[in-house]
Structures are given as C-alpha cells and as structure tokens.
Amino acid sequence: MATLIGAIASSHTPTIGFALDARKQDDPAWKPIFDAYIPIRAWLEDKRPDVLLMIYNDHITSFFFDHYSAFCLGVDESYPVADEGGGARPMPAIGGHAALSRHIVQSLMTDEFDMSTFRNKGLDHGIFSPLSVLMDNDGQGWPTKIVPLQVGVLQFPIPSTLRCYKLGQALRRAIESYPEDMKVAIVATGGLSHQVHGERCGFNNTPWDEEFLDLLEKDPVALTRLTHADYARLGGMEGSEVIMWLVMRGALSARVRKVHQSYYLPSMCAIATAIYENEARTMPQRDAVQHRTRMEEQLAGAEELEGTYPYTQERSAQGWRVNRFLHRLVDPGHRARFLADEAGELAAADLSEGERDLIRRRDWRGLIHHGAIFFLLEKLGAVSGVSNLHIYAAMRGETLEDFQKTRNQQVIYSVAAPVDQD
C-alpha cells in the first residue's frame, strides 16, 4: 500500500522563482530563501518520495471565474508550466500520477467530498515556484511525479478552515488505501502573511506568522476555529490562503515530529518552510480493503448490465482526445472547418489513426467502447445530419425502422438548431 511519509510546507510567492531564475542564490537579500530549502532538498533526497501531493491555489491563470471550484484535483499524466502573462518559465512539464489521482478522487467522493477534476491545464507559480527550489530538473523532466490539488481561495465563499482540515483527514485515507506500494509526501503551499491589494497592500504580521506555525504543529484544531475574517485581520487578505496548510496538517497524525522550520520576510510576503514527519501507524491492510470496497459499492454490479459502460475517470482518460475533438464542434469556426474539410481537420487533430477512423465511419458504438461520451456523439450527429434516433438504433445494432418499433412514438430529433419548416 501507499505510505504517507510526511509533509512539507512552503510559501509559493513568485519572488522565489524570480530569484532562482535571476541567479540570486548568493545575493544577501535573497540568500536566506535558498538556505531555507537546503534541509528540505536533503530530506527529499533521503526519503525519495514517489509522488508529491501538492496543495496550491491557481492565481487566475488556468482557472477563471466562469467555473470556480472549491476543490479541484488534477488527474492528468503531465502538467506544463503555465504562462502567467510574461511567458512561461523555462522548465519542463512535470509528470502526474494519474492512477493515484483517480483513486483519490473516488475515495474523496466516497467520503462525501464533492471533488472536481481537471486535465489539460498548466500550473502557475502556486506549484512551480516552490517546486523549482525543492528539487532540480534535468531540462527534460523531474525526479518525482505530482498530484496537484487546487483550492479555490480567491472568490468567496471559500472552504472553511475546518473543512480544509477534514479534507486532509480524508486525503490520508485515500493515500493509505491505494493498493500499490509507493511513498507519498504532501506539500502545502502559500502564505504566510501578506496582502497585495487595496490601501492595506503590504501588510505583514510576523508575530501572527510565528503563532500560526506553532499552532499548526502543536494544536491545529485551534486554527480551525478561526474565521476567514480572522485570518485576513491577522495575516492579510491574501495571507488567508494558509488555510491550505490545514489540508496538509489534517492528513498527518495528531502529534508530528517537526524536522525543519524557517521564516523570512524580505518584502511583500512572509516566506516560511517546514517539514513534518508522521508519527501515526499506517492504515491496516484490513481497513484499506474495507475502504476500497466502500469506494466501489456505488457502481458494484453496473458492469454486469449488458451494453452499459459507466463513464468513470478511467474511461474519461481513455477517450480524452476524441472527446476533446468532438467538444470543439460547439465552436462555429471549428464546425465550419470540419464540414468544409473533414479529412483535413481529422488529419490535423491530436488523434490516433484508430480514433480518426472511428469518427470517419461514424462508428457510434465503437466510439462508446473507446471512451467517448454519448452527449458528444449527439453533437457529431447534429453536425453530420444524423438524428439521435439513428444513433440509438446503431448502438443496438438495429435499423432505424426496427428500433422505432420499440418506441411508443416514431419521432425523429437531434440537438441541431431549428430548421425552417416552410
């Protein structure tokens, strides 16, 4: 089973990445930042975790307010560096452990955390600023994989401190119930005290930062009793993002061993680091099996329903490229190009030849078997002039006429726009 070996806390201010890229390691104003990461790098080198579960918030780079989730877990195979407006930092993408991500999502849903997921998104300084000083990359990749957890802390209402702490407890069950042997460390990012907007811009509070770090180690439950307004008053409005550290702390044992801690306030944001090692026993094998059984009970037996394919995270990953291509048919420009030159659009798409063939032949049942979701097939049908009823008949391997005989009314329809009936 997977083992939760400990946790790291790190600020994620972009100044960290700037200082690294500008080679400020020996500059007196910047050197304390890099010195603080030396023990963490040594710890990571010693422990060699297979996966880092990194808790962060996106800074309106890859996520916007047209769809803003409280908790959103990455389930992708790879995550590139996001362009935040001045060009992406010159670092390679980092690999994701998609199988562990899918397990965590299902486990959290079982524990009644309504978790969103994301793919095909870059990660901004919320992850890559600390990651770039936690370990080196070789220009092609990184020595570990990650599972990124994005917490929506920028648009209120946001999760309460207690909810964050309870999420951490659920994350521990999710990690320790994963059946494969691996070592996982949790990295909480953000903070400490700072405010970057309004007339209070530049606010810091070192005494509160020190108290927060002490309570995080020794009495995290006390931190769950504070409101968002309390965190804003004590640590600045943007400094309230430290509630993400409570996710990390909730995943650890009640008592932890603090291996390292640092604090430095160079300019706008108080920069802190810490390492905590878990002192709790790992989940017994019996409990892990029971938890996985609970995870599976909602869909237990569904696979026995003939011709039924629950759209799971696995099927979503399998059909990602096809579904992404078909989803683009809602865009009039893409739709027009597809109708004008289907062969050219298919040839230019990020699809395998087998996937192109399935679309080319309008193999509706084959597309379902491959991992396409029906509600994108009906969009392809609408573009192609094929009704929903024709698609339904094809699913059953019947002619339209034979399928219509099984319906109460013999009607034809699709999701295409209305046509002139005159």
Active site residues: 125, 194
**Both tokens assigned to 183:** 């070592």
User: How far is it, in rounded angstroms, from Cα 245 to Cα 164?
Assistant: 8
Residue type, 325: F
Q: How many CB atoms lie within 10 A of CB 79?
A: 25
- As a whole number of angstroms, the distance between CA 362 and CA 403 comes to 18
Q: Which residue has the tokens 């192609």?
A: 384
Distance CA 393, CA 383 (A): 18
Q: What are phi and psi of 264, to 5 degrees?
A: -155, 135
Distant-in-sequence, close-in-space partners of 414: CB < 8 Å, separation ≥ 6: 378, 381, 382, 386, 387, 388
Determine contact, residues 380/326, Cβ cutoff 8 Å: yes
CA angle at 164 for the pair 178 and 100, rounded to the nearest 5°: 20
The answer to whether the beta carbons of residues 184 and 4 sit under 8 Å apart is yes
